[in-house]
Amino acid sequence: MTGARQALVLDELRGVLAEVTGRDELRAIPAGTALFGPPVALDSLTGTRLLREVRQRFGVDVAAEDLNLDALATLGTLASFVASRSELPSGRP
Amino acid sequence: MLTVPPAGCVDVWWLDICTVAVGRGELAELSLEEHKRAASFAFRADRRRYTAAHVMLRRVLSGYLDIPPSSLVFRREPCPRCGKPTGRPALPFGYGVHFSLAHSGDAVVIAVASQSVGVDVEQQPSGCVCALSGDMNEADAEWGRALGEAARHDLVIRWWVRAEAVLKCTGEGIGHGIGSFPVLGSPDGPPGPAVPGGPEQLMAATVVHGCSLISLPAPGGYQAALALAGQASSVRLAVRAPWSSGRRRTARA
């Protein structure tokens, strides 16, 4: 896994987050931001939509593969987990 | 002092966070834990939503218990599935008051009953929610197949609030999966707008997973559901605070 690949996934995930929450400010959150509860306040519906989108776009079922859901701790850990198990997002170089 | 609803009955309080003043007096009613959690939100709107909801929860419960809002202590019940401390938020043993809190967008809804209760509200989300159909119980998903896109989005959110209300009532939460039982019963639409306060209404319920489940009349653009522990075929609903949008008013930060 390269840093460039993880950065691409990170960028794509920020876009997914902004899309499922309808909140553009989430396009700029740092990789270390916690996803559930504070500080970005993802509720259960948006969290589930995020995982569904990740499965569709990257082919990675986070809930099935990471039983403790450690991957969901922060945006960065989710990006690392997805980047290590997926092809690049569709339509990306 | 408010009377705790008898068995089979539930009180519902709707609040618009835009109408809730959150000043020093209100903040003083919250616990240290609630302050810590509020402080950790990155965005002001989330902090305000959380704070307003918890101030109102304490004030509503205080009315039933004759205990000052700031003196209320909450605990977390164990999850009935795995025993971890992730179950229902609850008052101390022996109080005889059960509650459930949900918020989405500007809406906060609080349900109070004398038996376990779960409530959920969701603002119609932005974007397509069809991907969630994959999490639905097969019988529920079937209802959406013949629908156009907008009606399917409505159905998916109706499914979600009904399933989440049941899982909040049982204390399981969605961590153990959300589609293991059907909750729709029929593809009927939501039961209409949030009703004014006043006379109690008897609402036909669907018995699901040990709960009596109803779709709750909700503000425009939102869907809500409520589950009461038990196998009753109806729920008597009293709206103690009707929905009143405060979008045009100035909220004090």
Between B80 and A64, residue with greater pLDDT: B80
Note whether residue B101 is domain-resident: yes
Q: Of the candidates B37, B46, B127, which has its C-beta nearest A19's C-beta?
A: B127
The number of folded domains in chain B is: 1
Note whether residue A93 is domain-resident: no
Note whether residue A42 is domain-resident: yes
**Confidence at residue A91, expressed as pLDDT on a 0 to 100 scale:** 46
Decide if pLDDT at B248 tops 90.
no
C-beta of residue B224 within 8 angstroms of C-beta of residue B121: yes
Distance from C-alpha of A84 to C-alpha of A1, rounded to nearest angstrom: 6
Q: Could you tell me which of B152, B213, B216 has the C-alpha nearest to residue B181?
A: B213
**Predicted confidence (pLDDT) per residue in B107-152, tens digit:** 999 999 999 999 999 998 878 888 888 889 999 999 998 899 999 9
Note whether residue B248 is domain-resident: no
> Could you list the residue range(s) of the whole structural domain that residue B103 is in?
9-241
The CATH number of residue B201's host domain is: 3.90.470.20
Q: How confident is the model at residue B187 (pLDDT cuts 50, 70, 90)?
A: low
Note whether residue B45 is domain-resident: yes
> Could you list the residue range(s) of the whole structural domain that residue A68 is in?
3-85
Note whether residue A92 is domain-resident: no
**Predicted confidence (pLDDT) per residue in B1-44, tens digit:** 899 999 999 999 999 988 888 888 889 999 999 998 888 787 78
Decide if pLDDT at B251 tops 60.
no
The CATH number of residue A57's host domain is: 1.10.1200
Q: Of the candidates B38, B42, B135, which has its C-beta nearest A48's C-beta?
A: B135
Report H helices in chain A: 3-21, 44-58, 62-65, 75-85
Residues, chain A, total? 93
Between B69 and B242, residue with greater pLDDT: B69
Closest Cα in chain B, distance from residue A39 (Å):
4
- CB contact under 8 Å between A48 and B178, yes or no, is yes
Whole-complex ipTM: 0.74
Q: How confident is the model at residue B192 (pLDDT cuts 50, 70, 90)?
A: low
Note whether residue B157 is domain-resident: yes
**Predicted confidence (pLDDT) per residue in B140-161, tens digit:** 999 998 899 999 999 999 999 9
Note whether residue B184 is domain-resident: yes
Closest Cα in chain A, distance from residue B38 (Å):
8
Distance from C-alpha of B57 to C-alpha of A20, rounded to nearest angstrom: 28
Low-confidence ranges of chain A (pLDDT < 70): 1-2, 37-38, 66-69, 87-93
Q: How confident is the model at residue B196 (pLDDT cuts 50, 70, 90)?
A: low
Note whether residue A36 is domain-resident: yes
**Confidence at residue B247, expressed as pLDDT on a 0 to 100 scale:** 66
Note whether residue B249 is domain-resident: no
The number of folded domains in chain A is: 1
Note whether residue B224 is domain-resident: yes
